[in-house]
Structure 1
Amino acid sequence: MVTVLYLFGFERIGVAVSDIYFVDPHPLEGQEGAERGVRLELRRLEPGELKGSIYSSRPITVDRPLWRVDLLESVSGTPGSFDRTHHHPGIRGWEPGRRVFDERLSQEPLKWLGERLADLEGVLDEAGAGRDEVTPADVTGLRERAPEIVETVARLLETVRAAHPAAPGGAEAATSVRASWL
């Protein structure tokens, strides 16, 4: 399995999307076993100074997460079930808060995601992040690009489901695995 990272950048905020496969060494009850799917995070972006001429590449830092959505399914379950799909409305530093399972998110994950991405201020309020984290250009840019981001997530979900469900690198018996950019 080769993990993929997509990054949509705006002014001070970015949306990072990656496929993910993991086995939690300390799962919650009912959450045992391998999971796979797509993770999306709102991240702070920091542009760096040019390191050369005006034509040089600009360093970019993809910094701390502000919000996370995990469109996951149990590997042993039915593809399309979204039986492990959840979001983390709050993140402290680099650690996600508790998993929040939302019935609508599991029933219509792409529609739910599109609506949330189009409401950046609402997402930040729910996450407990200040609106000073973003600019009006971030709000507008994300709202305009939300359909494209949702299409990217949908394509990546199809790719994940089409792949063999076994663990990456033959780690089927492992008690702790994480294969993802995010």
Structure 2
Amino acid sequence: MLHAFVYNEIVILVRHWFEVSIKDGHLEHGARIELRLRSPQPHRGTESAAQKIVADQPLWRADLFDRIDGVHGGFEAAHFHPRFHDAEPCERHWADEVKAAPWDWLHDQLSDIAGVAAAAGVRLRDPAADSEQVRADAPAIVAVARSRAAIQCGTKEQCYAWTQDAAGSVHLMLDRLARPELLDRDRVSPWLASRNAAHRAP
């Protein structure tokens, strides 16, 4: 389930995410907010025709996560990725303010979206336009992100329902575990079931 805020040059995606650590099998979930660059598309059809919206290139990501084995609502795994290399995020960046006041921090980032893009290596063609619009929408974007926070997701079934479209990514994590014996198999059972069904499909 994705929420998209689409502007002139950028798109902001908000969703719930579920993460399995490949290293030790610990589990994280919470709100993921991603900034993407919108690719201009040639006009198609008549003046009334629906147009393509393409937002393929990621620039920045915030993962405001809880550890499932940690404090509920504690944001112990909250971090961000200030840039991408093609489709791959850079290493996690940790900052005290991201854990201590994640929603205030997110609002601050959205209030300078041109600066966030520049730090990711992209200068917007008209930075003032998108900056002004995103700044005005920042409270609404933060509200949607809060609605997809870990504290709003109380069961494994709800977590799976909110992330079912990205189940393939979780399957890859499960397939690459360094210590599979450490995995909480009950907590990930919906993803294990969907992975097994995918493997059985002809």
After TM superposition, the score normalised by the length of structure 1 is: 0.80
Alignment gaps of 5+ in structure 1 = 175-182
Q: Decide which of 11, 14, 18 is 2:15's aligned counterpart.
A: 18
Aligned-pair distance for 1:64? Answer: 0.8
Please give the residue correspondences for 1:99-138 in structure 2 after superposition, counting only pairs within 5 Å.
99-127=92-120, 129-132=121-124, 135-138=127-130
More divergent stretch after superposition (98-107 vs 50-59)? 50-59
Match of 1:131, SS? Answer: coil
Aligned-pair distance for 1:25? Answer: 1.8
Aligned-pair distance for 1:171? Answer: 2.8
Aligned-pair distance for 1:55? Answer: 2.4
**Which residue pairs with 1:154 in the alignment?**
146
- Aligned partners of 1:7 and 1:16 also within 8 Å: yes
How high is the sequence identity, in percent, across the aligned residues? 28
Match of 1:26, SS? Answer: coil
Q: Decide which of 134, 148, 169 is 2:190's aligned counterpart.
A: 169
Q: Does 1:9 align with 2:6?
A: yes
Alpha-carbon spacing, 1:159–1:104, altered in 2? closer, same or farther (3 Å): closer
Identify the structure with the greater strand proportion: 1
Which string of whole-angstrom CA distances, capped at 9 and with x for unpartnered residues, describes residues 142-163 of structure 1? 1111111001101111674333
Aligned-pair distance for 1:118? Answer: 0.2
Q: Does 1:73 align with 2:66?
A: yes
- Aligned partners of 1:72 and 1:83 also within 8 Å: yes
Aligned-pair distance for 1:168? Answer: 6.1
Aligned-pair distance for 1:87? Answer: 0.5
Runs of 4+ in 1 over 4 A off after TM superposition: none
**Which residue pairs with 1:62 in the alignment?**
55
After TM superposition, the score normalised by the length of structure 2 is: 0.73
Match of 2:59, SS? Answer: strand
Aligned-pair distance for 1:58? Answer: 1.1
Higher relative contact order (CA 8 A, sep 6+): 1
